[in-house]
Chains A and B, each alone.
Chain A
Amino acid sequence: MNNKSGRLQSAWGALPVVVFIAVWEIVGRFDLFPGQFFFPPFSAVVKEFYHLTANGVLGKNFASSLVRVLIGLCSGSIAGIFVGVMMGWRSVINRALNPIISLLYPIPALGWLPLLMLWIGINEMLPITIIFICSFFPVVYNTATGIRNVDGRYVQAAETLGASNMRILFKVVIPLALPNIFTGLRLEAGMSWRVLIAAEMVAIPTGIGALLMQAESLVRVDIIMVCLIVLSVMCLLFERVFVIMERRLIGKWSNHA
């Protein structure tokens, strides 16, 4: 009974997607509104997806984008967690860094683009740096908040049980702050792809963003749609990875902390 209802639920969830694709296909095939030329049917997009995969163009560009995201996201997250832990754990560090972080945090990652183009130039470091910035600030904030929000009683309990400051930090405070940290990571996992695409659209020779620009220049809407689908899937996938990591690491207790 559970299996049947589970399958039924999955089918119900997939129905809107199927309807959406069906409508897309129908609208794309028939001349229903002006400028229709710029709305290829779903099947044309799938065909182009296959074509781009078979000739290696999509794979090559995707690999470039993936490497940039992984480097930027990992380095930004690790740096963010490190600084966030420092700021949350020691109020003197928080007082020193908070004004700077507060000033820089509201600047959208893409707002840095013109400056970075001048300082870094147009090379691999440009998109990686943008993604680093996009990941770093939110992770710092969420981590510092998570650390500060850990109930002081847990720290007191650990102290009376003889734990050193480092043990308290690594065995008690950071684990209890993980739900907040994962919130930051999950949000930035998808955002990093969106930011990457925009950064790659500025003169970077490879990557999904570069492919998108080429497609625009060639008036290839089908290729643009392939790029957007890849972007959407990667955003979802990356967010999902963090959800699964979160569930594995802290799922047993995080709802009850």
Chain B
Amino acid sequence: MTGGNSGSGWPLELFLAEAKKEFEALSNSNGDRTWKREMVDPLLSVRNLGVAFGNRAVLRQLSFEIYSGDCLAIIGPNGAGKTVLLKALQHLVPYQGEIHWSPEARLGYVPQRVAADRELPLRVSELLAAKARVLHLADQEMDQVSSELNLSPEFLSAGIGTLSGGQFQKVLIAFALLGRPNVLLFDEPTASLDELTEERIYELVHQLQTQRGITLILVSHDLSVVYRYATRVLCLSKNKVCMGPPKEIMTPETLEELYGAPPKYYRHLEEL
């Protein structure tokens, strides 16, 4: 849509396309949202964040803000620092720069994998109860989370070593939800899960977003999911960092630059 075709072809379509672009620019771009945003403090404010391991800088001069209700998707190739960013946001790794959460932020974290070995003689209910007791939660909270996620009594009394990938993921989500977080940090929630389970997990995530107004920070390789649920996208890679609404970021050019290979997906132009 470069408008270089004056005098040829379809003036009405061109006009409509430009009008559509302008309309989207009004409703999506960061700049034009500031009139709304200035009235609300950000839930999370990150300034010049840097994380290095030894001599290797993984994150450099990263700055962004997140507002309540956002769903931020973090995309990028392996090794770009996506997991490290999630950990830094929770002060789980040393960092430079500023990470400022608003006082009412309550975080829940669903990591990609945990250190626990399958042999650990721990039942699901025992794990959840341990967190509930450490946080001094009321007894009903565990029951509430269990019923929200449809965890059966058999599931709750199963040993964590006997769970399938999808079931284990559910346990991690239940664990994260204890304590009523209003922010969920999700690291690759569906890596190594089959498609049906993947769908269920994302339905659940979407439910959390729409029904509970939870702010989501999501690391995902699944671009279709990012496109479906994200309100903002942060792309991380060794040579490029960008942030913006999905429609801006998820262009073939940006993705090729990010991943080093053309994306294998098709965006339906009618959706624009």
A, B bound: no
